[in-house]
Amino acid sequence: MRTTRLVILALLVALVVAFAAQNTPAVGIRFLGWRFWVSNAVLLAIVCGAGVFIGLLIPRPRKRVPKEEEEEYVHLPTPPAGQ
């Protein structure tokens, strides 16, 4: 299972690198009043890095360890001897 995750991660990284390499022209960006020109590849790296950072901030659900189920017994009083 761990190997599968690593293979998928490697494929995704390869796809991102190939996409960035093919999209090198600069684009104009406006953000909060700032305006600047940046390469698509650099912009993609910044956005992917921000996504990874945000993903690391989100807590993962922990695996629950099942508690040992305790059976509830109803203890009835024992009848007196001879009845």
Is residue 71 a part of any domain in this protein?
Answer: no
Express each pLDDT in 26-74 by its tens digit: 888 888 988 988 888 888 788 888 988 998 898 877 776 555 554 555 6
pTM given for the model: 0.48
pLDDT at residue 59 in the model = 80
In a domain, 75, yes or no: no
d(CA 57, CA 52): 9
Q: Is residue 23 part of a domain?
A: yes
Q: What is the pLDDT of residues 66-81, one digit of tens each?
A: 555 545 556 677 778 7
Let me know if residue 68 belongs to a domain: no
Query: Is the residue at 77 inside a domain?
Result: no
Tens-place pLDDT, residues 4-15:
888 998 998 898
Q: Which domain holds residue 24?
A: 2-57
CB–CB of 44/16 below 8 Å? yes
pLDDT for the residue numbered 11: 92
Query: How many domains does the structure of the chain reveal?
Result: 1
List, as one string, the DSSP characters of the chain: -HHHHHHHHHHHHHHHHHHHHH--SEEEEEETTEEEEEEHHHHHHHHHHHHHHHHHHSPPPPPPPPPPPPPPP--PPPPPTT-
Asked if residue 25 belongs to a domain, the reply is: yes
